[in-house]
């Protein structure tokens, strides 16, 4: 069916808060220094913050309606069987280096992503079962799939599949391209110094912005991004005038800054999975569903969220955060019943001893909890551990120093719960977590009916409401086995100076529309 859906400058330092943006420049704080900045190769959400304004995508997603609207593609058709997407491309578009945008550029970009030699960490999987990219003419390209893949338009709307200049790709190669990026977006890439800064400049020729943008041209001539990995430094960077805007500000700092009258706090919901713990259903004692359910019931999750995250975050109640398509409420926030939790453990033979510890046949009720170091996971895990210790459970809390060690813990299976989540706006992100052979099936649970539901959701060509109903069934089956302990729906606390207006974000929640940012009148 056819669908035609009609910004290297010096860093300014000051001993007190500076006015919003300096002249025609903007200073933006980043909170993670990615291991690589190539969107086709690397997977960090942080890279989308600057690069979302360097690249255009074939389609964009409207944050309000959820509909996909024209980008570099003016229109498109999807075959009835969902296996062929034909894109009719916008003409007159040029990359920042002057190269003309055409169908061959699309083909080269997607083939670069798919090339196994390039070791794409994310973008390649976002293309699903893509078999070929065929150029029909200079302004028409056809994507052919081996089977339907419902998340494809969502994937194509994200910067990981942004379209880069074929000339720049050929000139710099995979190893060097991240330092010389060339797109068609409202800002041109100027410089990337790892662990220090990224600089962009406004594209004076930009004339093909999508309808999701409110401005036709950027106001700020230059944007400099600097890295502030230590959360304790972010409020200081704002107060000293090092940055004009920064995200992931610790809750209590964010609220203090907002109350000063000099800054504005913007709580941006991040779609995808919440901060959560996954139960290992293949290792004792969490192989027993009654133990898993008891551990769930013993937690006052609203109190944990309020203590760690303040008033700006919602308690997670599902496999997906509430801002994600297909989300459903399957683990209510008020599901807190320590008496029932204790009763479940007693019924399973875990008796409370005089020492306050539970044991069964002289075997202590002991669990290993492994969490990553980011996103306040350790702080939340400490409160979780304290509640379980009060229940009589011995808890070995381990903080993995990075994703690699976290993955190593997963591969050994020597854990009872593990903290891991992914961000994304399409519910298909659940598939690698809960499919029997899924890459992230860290619960170890296998259920053929659940597998079938996940495949059906990924391949559905049905209208959106019917597809989303499949994910309600997925959530119900996972919740019935008490495989997930959802804690907090992720919220990015972004703080900016009062002199900045119109800060808006893409549907994924991380990428700001820099073109729309304006100084206050």
Three-state SS string over 441-497 comes to CCCCCCCHHHHHHHHHHHHCCCCHHHHHHHHHHHHHHHHHCCCEEEEECCEEEEEEE
- Would you say 130 and 82 are in contact if contact means Cβ atoms under 8 Å apart? no
Q: Are 13 and 90 in contact (CB under 8 A)?
A: no
Least confident of 177-181, 266-270, 400-404: 400-404
Rounded to 5°, angle at Cα 85 from 82 and 87: 160
* Sheet containing strand 263-269, strands side by side: 187-193, 197-202, 222-227, 25-30, 245-246, 491-497, 263-269
Specify the pLDDT at position 321. 97
Host H or E run for residue 411: helix 403-412
Q: What is the mean pLDDT of residues 218-236?
A: 96
Phi, psi of 204 (to 5 degrees): -70, -15
The H-assigned helical ranges of 310-393 are 338-347, 377-391
Is-contact 161 123, C-beta < 8 A?
yes
Flag whether pLDDT at 34 surpasses 60: yes
CB 490 within 8 A of CB 190: no
Of how many residues is the chain composed?
A: 521
| Beta-bridge mates of residue 417 | 279, 369
Residue 223 has pLDDT above 60, yes or no: yes
For the cut 60, the answer to whether the pLDDT of residue 410 exceeds it is yes
201-229 b/e with 16+ CB inside 10 Å = b? bbbeebebbbebbeeeebbbbbbbbbbbe
Two structure tokens written together for 327: 């989300």
**pLDDT bracket for residue 375 (50, 70, 90):** confident
User: CA-CA distance, 439 to 422, in Å (whole number)?
Assistant: 12
The pLDDT of residue 348: 97
Give residue-wise pLDDT tens across range 384-396: 999 999 999 999 9
pLDDT at 133 over 90: yes
| Segments in 65-202 forming alpha helices (H) | 103-114, 123-126, 152-156, 166-176
Q: Which ranges of 68-159 does DSSP label H, i.e. alpha helix?
A: 103-114, 123-126, 152-156
CA 147, 153, 156, 159 dihedral sign is: negative
Task: Identify the bridge partners of residue 186 per DSSP, sorted by sequence position.
Answer: none
The pLDDT value recorded for residue 8 is 31
Cα–Cα dist 151/446, whole Å: 24
Q: Is residue 2 predicted with pLDDT exceeding 60?
A: no
Share of the chain above pLDDT 70, in %: 96
So what's the pLDDT on residue 32? 86
Coil/strand/helix, residue 134:
strand
Q: Is the pLDDT of residue 22 over 60?
A: no
Contact by Cβ (8 Å): 8, 141: no
Mean pLDDT of 34-56: 95
Task: Give the largest CA-CA distance in the chain.
Answer: 79
Residue 475 in contact with residue 318, Cβ under 8 Å? yes
pLDDT, greater one: 306 or 16: 306
Q: What is the pLDDT of residue 397?
A: 98
- Report helix angle 377-391 to 338-347, nearest 10: 60
Structure token pair of residue 107: 């083909």
Question: With 60 as the cut, is the pLDDT of residue 4 above it?
Answer: no
Task: Report which of 163, 166, 81, 83 is spatially closest to residue 128, judged by C-alpha positions.
Answer: 83
Q: Which of 134, 55, 58, 133 is nearest to 90 (CA)?
A: 58
Over residues 469-517, the pLDDT tens digits come to 999 999 999 999 999 999 999 999 999 999 999 999 999 999 999 999 9
Question: How many whole angstroms from its chain centre is CA 106?
Answer: 24
Going along the chain from its start, the domains and CATH numbers come out as: 2-269+493-519 (3.40.190.10), 275-489 (3.10.105.10)
Nearest to 28 by CA among 497, 419, 451, 521: 497
Which helix (DSSP H) or strand (DSSP E) does residue 5 occupy? none
- How many CA atoms, within 13 angstroms, populate the side-chain half-sphere of residue 57? 26
Mean pLDDT of 396-414: 90
Residues 97-117 have a mean pLDDT of 98
How many whole angstroms separate alpha carbon 167 and alpha carbon 181? 11
3-state secondary structure of 515: helix
């Amino acid at each position: 069916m056819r669908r035609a859906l009609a910004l290297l400058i010096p860093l300014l330092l000051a001993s007190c808060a500076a006015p919003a943006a300096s002249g025609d420049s903007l200073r933006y704080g980043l909170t993670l220094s990615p291991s690589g900045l190539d969107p086709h190769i690397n997977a960090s959400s942080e890279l989308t913050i600057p690069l979302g304004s360097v690249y255009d995508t074939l389609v964009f997603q409207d944050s309000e309606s959820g509909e996909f609207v024209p980008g570099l593609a003016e229109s498109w058709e999807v075959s009835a069987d969902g296996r062929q997407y034909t894109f009719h491309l916008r003409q007159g578009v040029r990359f920042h280096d002057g190269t003309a945008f055409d169908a061959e550029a699309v083909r080269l970009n997607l083939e670069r992503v798919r090339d196994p030699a390039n070791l794409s960490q994310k973008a390649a999987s976002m293309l699903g079962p893509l078999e070929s990219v065929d150029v029909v003419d200079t302004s028409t390209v056809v994507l052919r799939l081996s089977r339907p893949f419902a998340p494809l338009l969502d994937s194509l709307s994200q910067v990981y599949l942004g379209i880069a200049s074929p000339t720049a790709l050929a000139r710099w190669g995979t190893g060097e391209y991240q330092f010389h990026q060339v797109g068609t977006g409202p800002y041109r890439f100027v410089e990337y110094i790892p662990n220090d800064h990224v600089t962009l400049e406004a594209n004076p020729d930009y004339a093909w912005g999508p309808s999701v943008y409110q401005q036709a041209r950027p106001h700020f001539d230059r944007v400099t991004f600097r890295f502030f990995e230590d959360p304790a430094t972010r409020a200081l960077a704002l107060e000293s005038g090092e940055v004009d805007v920064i995200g992931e500000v610790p809750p209590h700092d964010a609220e203090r800054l907002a109350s000063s009258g000099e800054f504005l706090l913007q709580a941006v919901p991040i779609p995808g999975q919440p901060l959560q713990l996954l139960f290992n259903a293949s290792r004792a004692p969490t192989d027993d569903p009654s133990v898993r359910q008891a551990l769930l019931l013993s937690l006052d999750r609203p109190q944990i969220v309020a203590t760690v995250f303040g008033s700006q975050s919602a308690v997670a109640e599902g496999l997906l955060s509430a801002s994600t398509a297909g989300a459903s409420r399957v683990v209510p926030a008020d599901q807190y019943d320590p008496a029932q939790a204790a009763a479940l453990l007693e019924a399973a033979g875990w008796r409370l001893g005089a020492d306050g510890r539970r044991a069964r046949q002289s075997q202590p009720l002991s669990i290993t909890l492994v969490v990553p170091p980011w996103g306040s996971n350790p702080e939340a895990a400490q409160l979780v551990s304290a509640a379980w210790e009060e229940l009589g459970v011995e808890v070995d809390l381990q903080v993995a120093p990075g994703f690699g060690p976290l993955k190593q813990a997963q591969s050994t299976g020597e854990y009872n719960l593990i903290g891991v989540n992914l961000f994304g706006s399409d519910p298909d992100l659940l598939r690698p977590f809960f499919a029997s052979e899924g890459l992230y099936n860290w619960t170890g649970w296998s259920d053929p009916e659940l597998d079938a539901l996940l495949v059906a959701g990924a391949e559905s060509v049905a209208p959106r409401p019917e597809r989303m109903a499949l994910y309600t069934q997925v959530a119900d089956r996972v919740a019935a086995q008490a495989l997930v302990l959802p804690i907090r729906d992720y919220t990015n606390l972004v703080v900016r100076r009062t002199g900045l207006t119109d800060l808006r974000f893409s549907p994924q929640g991380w990428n700001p529309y820099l073109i729309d940012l304006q100084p206050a009148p």
